[in-house]
């Protein structure tokens, strides 16, 4: 059985290219794609991409924090990622007096590089197919424990809904320091307005350095630590890219659902996304209004606002894209064909019905889970109380608990504003109660709300009496706290929803179990489809080429944007479009030095470019490499018409967006005055 399955998988991976450029491939199995990659312009070998024995490109790629990618560009641990990936760190180190978000930051020397508590990067040591070992009865936990013996961090991840199991072994470095960041007027240029949109003019990069112990191994922060010496770092090419050039993205895409059935697509496009969009619109309005009134609040809520808005906007594009493509209808037709084939195969014939029935059984409950987490779960002080309630249940000693709780209180309050949270709580509780199916609101909670004359009265009472927004509180105060009592009222619901807690609807165990044989059946049936495992925050390779696309009737979008577009958008009145004066001056004088080039008949500086690589959230910060494996850009986004590619990739319009590495170097050199950093890079 396993033999047969492995054969099916390896055949499926090597199959002819049926969907041009679609796919996120496992680096250790990239050999099956190399022929196709080389036919598109890749000049290197599978061993250059991934090797256990010798240094390979994989040694230059890191998982940055919990959900971005970064890449080494020097022998001394210098790391590039996106500005929006470093955003939390830059904000954490900022104050109104030292506002690195607004002004940017460039460490004057190694000693001036700023440690970022809580930030870590993970480097993949190796990956290994352990499907056969698991099938033979070995427990994943034992495989992990064995792999972690030498100070590594490991986990076993499933591919193709459990048809394949992979062990991933990482080194996790926790001494990571901020080296530089452009001002937001470059790094976040265009803000949330331009987010998910092409043409784009964002210099979305920031610079960090990884430090290690004397032995070059991971070590907690220490003054004695030294810059980490990676096994491999990327050479940078300043030759630039032309339409049609090969590009490859090496990084950590977080989550896709390419194989789910029409039911799941309909749930996302018609139920889940619309609900989440409606709730976030209200949260964002409240936060934005408070930010506009107060500069300190603008900094406090900058990172929160950006991340709430990011998914909010993406979901809107995703709904439009899934409807435009008719993804659910196409899937239904595909399912009919599959059903005809499967009807004569008893082991597969029931699968679509089983999947459908499983969805019917869990969908209402999953909706409640999503609604609850986007509404009540979005109240910050509620989240704080829930977290601490967990600690309290394990920590009975009053003094010990108060000490622990109060030690993290300053960090909570640093980016917290009770007026914003109170306004959000009023809206979110009202939405929760309105949208919740009949009888779903916890009875005790409903009673508490009405005993205060309704939601607003209840919330005002909560915020008027809670101690959790104070700098300090005692264990007794905590135990009696109204927000903690509210958390307790939701405990039964929390417990009930544990059964449907999953990354998405199709990942709930009772649904997922049918996807395991369904994937297997699809691979057997649809033999010329190129199957790749859905993204799951493990290291992947995507490849394609630089390309424009037809945006709308009579509107073609060119593959490259330039400094001319930055200046066209310049508007000192709007925070997101207020170009730094120095950049205006450089543009006016056309004083580009070595960074100038001719694009579209003008002397200018390239800013961003787009390509056909299949990427997803998590690929932010990923190196964009040319056919020689040289760094030509940093990936940071997808275009508006691509936002549905987590469910259906449309090769005609799906484009990833990268910041051109020449713009990165230009900004470091000419705006940041950090030309000394260029000296430690290999620039060709």
Residue 191 touches which of ligand ARG, ligand GLU, none (CB < 5 to 8 A by kind)?
A: ligand ARG
Residue 31 touches which of ligand ARG, ligand GLU, none (CB < 5 to 8 A by kind)?
A: none
Q: Is 204 tagged catalytic? A: yes
Residue 619 touches which of ligand ARG, ligand GLU, none (CB < 5 to 8 A by kind)?
A: ligand GLU
Residue 306 touches which of ligand GLU, ligand ARG, none (CB < 5 to 8 A by kind)?
A: ligand ARG
CB–CB of 608/659 below 8 Å?
yes
Distance between CA atoms of residues 660 and 577, nearest Å: 19
The pair phi, psi for residue 151, each rounded to 5°, is 80, 15
Angle (CA) 192-585-183 rounded to 5° is: 35
Contacts of 384 by beta carbon, 8 Å cutoff, 6+ apart: 412, 468, 483
Structure tokens at 117: 């508590």
Contact flags string 597-616 toward ligand GLU, x per CB under 6 A: ------------------xx
> Is residue 113 part of the contact set for ligand GLU (CB under 6 A)?
no
Q: Is 620 tagged catalytic? A: yes
- The catalytically annotated residue of 204, 481, 507, 534 is 204
> Is residue 544 part of the contact set for ligand GLU (CB under 6 A)?
no
- The catalytically annotated residue of 303, 620, 622, 642 is 620
The pair phi, psi for residue 473, each rounded to 5°, is -150, 160
DSSP per residue, 191-240: HHHHTT-SS------EEEEEEE-TTSS---S-TT-EE---S----B--S-
CB–CB of 83/659 below 8 Å?
no
Q: How many residues does the chain have?
A: 684
> Is residue 537 part of the contact set for ligand ARG (CB under 6 A)?
no
Contacts of 163 by beta carbon, 8 Å cutoff, 6+ apart: 5, 9, 131, 516, 519, 520
Q: Tell me the H-state helices in 326-379.
A: 327-342, 346-349, 351-374
Residue 303 touches which of ligand GLU, ligand ARG, none (CB < 5 to 8 A by kind)?
A: none
Residue 192 touches which of ligand GLU, ligand ARG, none (CB < 5 to 8 A by kind)?
A: ligand ARG
Nearer to ligand GLU, 90 or 468 (CB): 90
CB–CB of 479/488 below 8 Å?
no
Interstrand relation of 656-660 and 602-604 (parallel, antiparallel or unpaired): unpaired
**Nearest distance from C-beta of residue 269 to ligand ARG, angstroms:** 19
Element (H, E) at 62: strand 61-64
> Is residue 84 part of the contact set for ligand ARG (CB under 6 A)?
yes
Among 637, 639, 640, 653, binds ligand GLU (CB under 6 A): 637
> Is residue 618 part of the contact set for ligand GLU (CB under 6 A)?
yes
Tokens 């949260």 -> residue: 283
Contacts of 193 by beta carbon, 8 Å cutoff, 6+ apart: 576
> Is residue 637 part of the contact set for ligand ARG (CB under 6 A)?
yes
**Nearest distance from C-beta of residue 636 to ligand ARG, angstroms:** 6
> Is residue 306 part of the contact set for ligand ARG (CB under 6 A)?
yes
**Nearest distance from C-beta of residue 173 to ligand ARG, angstroms:** 23
Tokens 């936002």 -> residue: 643
> Is residue 192 part of the contact set for ligand ARG (CB under 6 A)?
yes
> Is residue 616 part of the contact set for ligand ARG (CB under 6 A)?
no
- The catalytically annotated residue of 84, 233, 305, 587 is 84
CB–CB of 608/548 below 8 Å?
no
Distance between CA atoms of residues 674 and 666, nearest Å: 10
> Is residue 196 part of the contact set for ligand ARG (CB under 6 A)?
yes
Q: Is 660 tagged catalytic? A: no
> Is residue 250 part of the contact set for ligand GLU (CB under 6 A)?
no
Among 636, 649, 663, 666, binds ligand GLU (CB under 6 A): 636
Tell me which residues touch ligand ARG (CB under 6 A): 84, 188, 191-192, 195-196, 306, 309-310, 617, 620, 636-637
Q: What residues line the site for ligand GLU (CB under 6 A)?
A: 68, 615-620, 636-638
Give the residue numbers marked as catalytic. Answer: 84, 204, 620
């Amino acid at each position: 059985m396993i033999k047969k399955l492995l054969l099916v998988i390896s055949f499926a991976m090597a199959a002819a290219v049926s969907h041009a450029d679609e796919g996120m491939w496992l680096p250790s199995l990239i050999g099956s794609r190399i022929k196709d990659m080389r036919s598109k312009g890749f000049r290197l070998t599978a061993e250059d991409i991934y090797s256990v024995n010798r240094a390979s490109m994989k040694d230059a790629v890191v998982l940055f924090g919990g959900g971005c990618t970064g890449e080494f560009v020097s022998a001394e641990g210098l790391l590039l990622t996106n500005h929006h990936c470093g955003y939390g760190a830059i904000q954490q180190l900022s104050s109104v007096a030292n506002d690195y978000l607004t002004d940017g930051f460039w460490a004057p020397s190694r000693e001036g590089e700023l440690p970022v508590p809580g930030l870590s990067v993970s480097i993949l040591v190796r990956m290994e197919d352990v499907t056969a070992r698991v099938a033979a009865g070995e427990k994943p936990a034992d495989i992990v424990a064995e792999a972690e013996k030498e100070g590594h961090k490991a986990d076993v991840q499933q591919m193709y809904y459990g048809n394949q199991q992979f062990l991933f072994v990482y080194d996790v470095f926790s001494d990571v320091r901020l080296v530089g960041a452009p001002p937001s007027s470059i790094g976040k240029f265009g803000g949330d307005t331009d987010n998910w949109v092409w043409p784009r003019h964002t210099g979305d990069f920031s610079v960090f350095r990884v430090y290690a112990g004397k032995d070059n191994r991971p070590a907690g922060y220490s003054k004695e630590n030294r810059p980490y010496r990676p096994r491999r770092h990327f050479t940078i090419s300043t030759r630039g890219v032309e339409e049609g050039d090969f590009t490859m993205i090496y990084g950590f895409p977080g989550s896709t659902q390419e194989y789910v059935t029409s039911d799941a697509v309909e749930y996302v496009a018609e139920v889940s996304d619309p609900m989440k969009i409606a709730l976030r619109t209200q949260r964002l309005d409240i936060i934005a209004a408070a930010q506009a009134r107060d500069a300190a609040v603008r900094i406090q809520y900058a990172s929160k606002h950006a991340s709430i808005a990011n998914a909010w906007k993406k979901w809107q594009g995703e709904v439009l894209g899934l409807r435009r493509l008719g993804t659910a209808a196409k899937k239904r037709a595909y399912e009919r064909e599959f059903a005809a084939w499967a009807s004569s195969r008893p082991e597969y014939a029931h699968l679509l019905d089983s999947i459908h029935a499983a969805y019917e059984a869990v969908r209402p409950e999953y909706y409640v889970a999503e609604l609850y987490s986007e509404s009540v779960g979005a109240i910050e002080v509620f989240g704080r109380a829930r977290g601490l309630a967990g600690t309290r249940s394990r920590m009975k000693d009053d003094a010990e608990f108060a000490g622990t709780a109060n030690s993290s209180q300053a960090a909570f309050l640093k980016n917290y504003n009770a007026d914003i949270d109170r306004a959000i709580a009023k809206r979110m509780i009202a939405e929760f109660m309105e949208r919740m199916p009949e009888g779903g609101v916890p009875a005790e909670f409903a009673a508490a709300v009405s005993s205060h004359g309704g939601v607003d009265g209840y919330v005002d009472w909560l915020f008027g009496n809670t101690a959790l927004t104070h700098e300090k509180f005692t264990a007794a105060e905590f135990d009696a706290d109204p927000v903690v009592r509210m958390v307790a009222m939701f405990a039964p619901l929390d417990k009930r929803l544990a059964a449907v807690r999953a990354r998405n609807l199709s990942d709930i165990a009772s649904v997922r179990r049918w996807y395991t044989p369904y994937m297997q059946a699809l691979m057997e049936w649809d033999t010329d489809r190129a199957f790749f495992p859905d993204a799951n925050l493990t290291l992947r390779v995507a490849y394609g080429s630089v390309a424009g696309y037809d945006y709308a009737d009579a509107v073609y979008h060119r593959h490259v944007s330039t400094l001319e577009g930055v200046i066209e958008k310049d508007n000192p009145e709007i925070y997101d479009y207020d170009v730094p004066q120095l950049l205006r001056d450089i543009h006016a004088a056309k004083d580009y030095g070595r960074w100038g080039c001719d694009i579209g008949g003008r002397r200018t500086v390239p800013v961003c470019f787009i390509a056909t690589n299949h990427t997803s959230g998590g690929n932010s910060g990923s190196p964009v490499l040319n056919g020689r494996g040289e760094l030509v850009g940093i990936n940071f986004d997808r275009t508006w018409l691509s936002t549905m590619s987590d469910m259906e990739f449309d090769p005609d319009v799906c484009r990833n967006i990268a910041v051109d590495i020449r713009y990165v170097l230009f900004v470091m050199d000419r705006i940041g005055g950090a030309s000394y950093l260029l000296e430690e890079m290999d620039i060709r």
